[in-house]
Structure 1
């Protein structure tokens, strides 16, 4: 078996065959046939890359034979070699047989070899193209399969039962049930709540619980961009529409066609842009900046805001018609301080996710840390809790429990109460100056004790007190009997 490119020469003149075989034999694996029947038999049994065929033969013309070859072996490069240069033969060869080249006799050996080498190269390129097309087709299929798997995974991740972490008796249970009921219906929804309460998470839950779940979900923060850029981001623009628009840009509404657009901070958009957004919602079509043509889009719009839109409408800062267009349903998310019972399960869930993200493992959170986290109001809501869990994991020791001593000082300062509630009055920071100073002092002392793992000697040293002086203050503030909570590992990790 040879590695040389294989060519078939078909010619009824024996001398011509011998001459061609002698000249081409060094560069090619040459097969010869004196007629169409022999050529067909060779093609049936051999792998041929190029055919060099005489035009004038007794049984069939070269063009007729190569026309048959084209229908049965279309990959083979077909060439005519002839002593006759009839224009009709050339045209017929090009149209019917799809020949690569028409070579006239007498031919020059070097030119003929070069032509055949180019023909072989073309054959190989065709085969590579076919393989690439097959691979591309498989890649598209694999990509579609992976995309489908990813969307299914996302749908499970944002499921109303598993995606929104909460305790058994959480106030979020009723909200999740509302989300579940609203999700399948193609109505606009406005989600309200303070920053960090999980409005985008709720929006994703609505999307993945809807009939649009296998289509795009795109997000835009409306308060982060001026009108012109926001219009371009949402609706797209044409090249040259404004300074810096060097190419056409497809907007988020068009990208999300068939899916969901989540407009965060909708209360921040200007009244001028509210008019443009209202037109899009009413007409179901967008017009890219700088374009004279509109495009139909089919999207579901979910908006979110930390403002009271009803008040904004009354004050004239938000258009009433846009408000009623957006508020097919209004869903309000409570602040984290109103769902304190969710903090332990949220903290453990956030810790698990953060460990995966940072690649650092710990045993969990101890009970004292959980109670300190529960005592804090979390003005930044879940986002602030997530940041604090990340902080504790970063500064904590790998493989150990995360204790209350790792919690940020401002959080420990805000949680001076103990199990018995002796310091409730101090924590209010109301009353006389003496009472307010006492509340602050008690808070600082307890925070210091927690950071030093209740080592009174170290705490006294940091505070500039003697052990006797510290003990006196502990008695005064009802902290003497407050001990670090010890719990077994199973309870602390929440497993």
Structure 2
């Protein structure tokens, strides 16, 4: 039996099957089928952990097939891959077939591989939970103690000291002080800040710092779903309430009873849904779609937005009464560009996390790489840094050090105050004559090229179309002739949260 997890890929296009098999072959025991009957035979004869099925199959749709898989092999992780993003297909897939992920074409190889690796972890967690359930029956007191310890560890992982990574003089210190003061009190909190600033992490810290910390914490991205599906997800629905509602569905508010509901991107909900949400917050009760009866729920609501809701209220796009219901306390999270002192410790923490997720070890980030990262404004905030470090880790040497040459070009070319995106603002920051401004841009490009080539002047000159003598002359002109790679640094000890 193969030690690799087994995945079954089903697609009637032979080239698509071959392409996916090539990508996954090193990490999975890949079984493929171009017909539903062949797929069923493989499932009957093999221990399959994941099924990845194309939605448009000749015999039946992928959702119909995975609905059958759910009935016969309920433990198998079910995923759909399709070039079509029809909302009804997505709803049917979630409700009827219990789809774990809906992957759209064209897919990126690295993202597909990462998604499937995460699915494998989910499968393992399911098996562990089954074993834990058996242990609970055999030894209730021991299982209770295990669960208590896990919850305590989770609470520590998301507390205000260890959970929110920052430097000694960070602007986040004031934010954490506010969150710590607010957490014990059962009031709604509105977290405001640009995308990627860590609003979900702050929400978790609020929950685990509250009296509700040992109750559920559930999340819904309100901007990702249409009204009908959002209402079903939050409030639940009854069987037959709409096409595809084949069984009763418990909404997140009911699941979180006694705990916390985190409504991310609350500024994206439509005016019509705002009315329904306001009623729930006012009355403390929900009514599932298709039901005539209401149910009382006791939840704390934490909302987050990257919009200025004050402006939205003034413009008439967001209800003032809902705003005041949500904004019991308003906490604004600063952009990463305003947290320059946090960048080194954040980078190290994100690298630790990426190494655990991807199973690859390196010695750390070079000081030169960290210095380049500190010069960049990070318009995508922490999420952008997370993606950049993950890319560096994938492309970097096993057990080696991640140098500045692995950083993206736009980061290497950045100077203090630069904004990513339109190059005009960067040019506007340059002073002097046209010749002076062109010279400064040229110096940036030369320095970036040298860093990428690990300060190999022959390679840099070749890429720039210069002779070594010509490059040396420009280095002297711009004061770069004595610039050397900064000494390597060893990473500080410590864990990631």
**TM-score above 0.5, yes or no:** yes
Q: Is it true that 1:289 corresponds to 2:289 in the alignment?
A: yes
Q: Secondary structure at the match of 2:337?
A: helix
Q: How far did residue 305 of structure 1 move? A: 0.2
Q: How far did residue 432 of structure 1 move? A: 4.8
Note if contact 1:192-1:199 (Cα within 8 Å) is conserved in structure 2.
yes
C-alpha distance in structure 1 between counterparts of 2:341 and 2:134, whole Å: 56
C-alpha distance in structure 1 between counterparts of 2:135 and 2:405, whole Å: 57
Q: Is it true that 1:235 corresponds to 2:221 in the alignment?
A: no
C-alpha distance in structure 2 between counterparts of 1:197 and 1:243, whole Å: 38
Q: How far did residue 428 of structure 1 move? A: 2.5
Q: Is it true that 1:164 corresponds to 2:161 in the alignment?
A: no
Note if contact 2:135-2:143 (Cα within 8 Å) is conserved in structure 1.
no
C-alpha distance in structure 1 between counterparts of 2:230 and 2:325, whole Å: 20
Deviations 1:273-295 (A, max 9, x none): 10110000000000001101000
Q: How far did residue 481 of structure 1 move? A: 2.5
Q: Is it true that 1:452 corresponds to 2:425 in the alignment?
A: no
C-alpha distance in structure 2 between counterparts of 1:444 and 1:289, whole Å: 58
Note if contact 2:376-2:416 (Cα within 8 Å) is conserved in structure 1.
no
Counting only pairs closer than 5 Å after superposition, residues 15-94 of structure 1 correspond to structure 2 as none
Q: Is it true that 1:437 corresponds to 2:448 in the alignment?
A: no
Q: How far did residue 431 of structure 1 move? A: 5.5
- Report what 1:52 is aligned to: none
Counting only pairs closer than 5 Å after superposition, residues 106-185 of structure 1 correspond to structure 2 as 137-138=137-138, 141=141, 143-185=143-185
C-alpha distance in structure 2 between counterparts of 1:260 and 1:433, whole Å: 58
Q: How far did residue 478 of structure 1 move? A: 2.3
Residues 416 and 155 of structure 1: CA distance in aligned 2, closer, same or farther (over 3 Å):
closer
Q: How far did residue 361 of structure 1 move? A: 1.1
Note if contact 2:453-2:460 (Cα within 8 Å) is conserved in structure 1.
yes
Note if contact 1:388-1:407 (Cα within 8 Å) is conserved in structure 2.
yes
Q: How far did residue 416 of structure 1 move? A: 8.4
Q: Secondary structure at the match of 1:492?
A: coil
Counting only pairs closer than 5 Å after superposition, residues 280-429 of structure 1 correspond to structure 2 as 280-415=280-415, 428-429=429-430
Note if contact 2:136-2:144 (Cα within 8 Å) is conserved in structure 1.
no
Further displaced range: 213-222 or 470-479: 470-479
Note if contact 1:364-1:494 (Cα within 8 Å) is conserved in structure 2.
no
- Report what 1:493 is aligned to: 491
- Report what 2:216 is aligned to: 216
C-alpha distance in structure 1 between counterparts of 2:440 and 2:241, whole Å: 62
Q: How far did residue 476 of structure 1 move? A: 2.1
RMSD (Å) for aligned C-alpha atoms:
2.0
C-alpha distance in structure 2 between counterparts of 1:267 and 1:212, whole Å: 25
Residues 427 and 154 of structure 1: CA distance in aligned 2, closer, same or farther (over 3 Å):
farther
Q: Is it true that 1:469 corresponds to 2:470 in the alignment?
A: yes
Q: Secondary structure at the match of 2:165?
A: coil
Q: How far did residue 142 of structure 1 move? A: 5.0
Note if contact 1:416-1:446 (Cα within 8 Å) is conserved in structure 2.
no
Deviations 1:162-188 (A, max 9, x none): 000000111111111111100000000
Deviations 1:425-468 (A, max 9, x none): 98924665434432332221111100111121221122111111
- Report what 1:273 is aligned to: 273
Residues 370 and 427 of structure 1: CA distance in aligned 2, closer, same or farther (over 3 Å):
farther
Residues 457 and 139 of structure 1: CA distance in aligned 2, closer, same or farther (over 3 Å):
same
Deviations 1:75-105 (A, max 9, x none): xxxxxxxxxxxxxxxxxxxxxxxxxxxxxxx
Residues 147 and 350 of structure 1: CA distance in aligned 2, closer, same or farther (over 3 Å):
same
If the length of structure 2 is used for normalisation, what is the TM-score?
Answer: 0.68
Q: Is it true that 1:254 corresponds to 2:254 in the alignment?
A: yes
C-alpha distance in structure 1 between counterparts of 2:136 and 2:416, whole Å: 64
Residues 136 and 445 of structure 1: CA distance in aligned 2, closer, same or farther (over 3 Å):
closer
Q: Secondary structure at the match of 1:137?
A: helix
Note if contact 1:287-1:293 (Cα within 8 Å) is conserved in structure 2.
yes
- Report what 2:205 is aligned to: 205
Deviations 1:202-250 (A, max 9, x none): 0000000000000000000000011111000000000111111111000
Residues 408 and 135 of structure 1: CA distance in aligned 2, closer, same or farther (over 3 Å):
closer
C-alpha distance in structure 1 between counterparts of 2:391 and 2:184, whole Å: 39
Further displaced range: 394-403 or 327-336: 394-403
If the length of structure 1 is used for normalisation, what is the TM-score?
Answer: 0.68
Which is greater in Rg? 1
Residues 430 and 229 of structure 1: CA distance in aligned 2, closer, same or farther (over 3 Å):
farther
Q: Secondary structure at the match of 2:246?
A: coil
C-alpha distance in structure 2 between counterparts of 1:345 and 1:138, whole Å: 45
Q: Secondary structure at the match of 2:169?
A: coil
Deviations 1:283-310 (A, max 9, x none): 0000001101000000000000000000
Q: How far did residue 360 of structure 1 move? A: 1.2
C-alpha distance in structure 2 between counterparts of 1:292 and 1:255, whole Å: 19
- Report what 2:129 is aligned to: none
- Report what 2:54 is aligned to: none
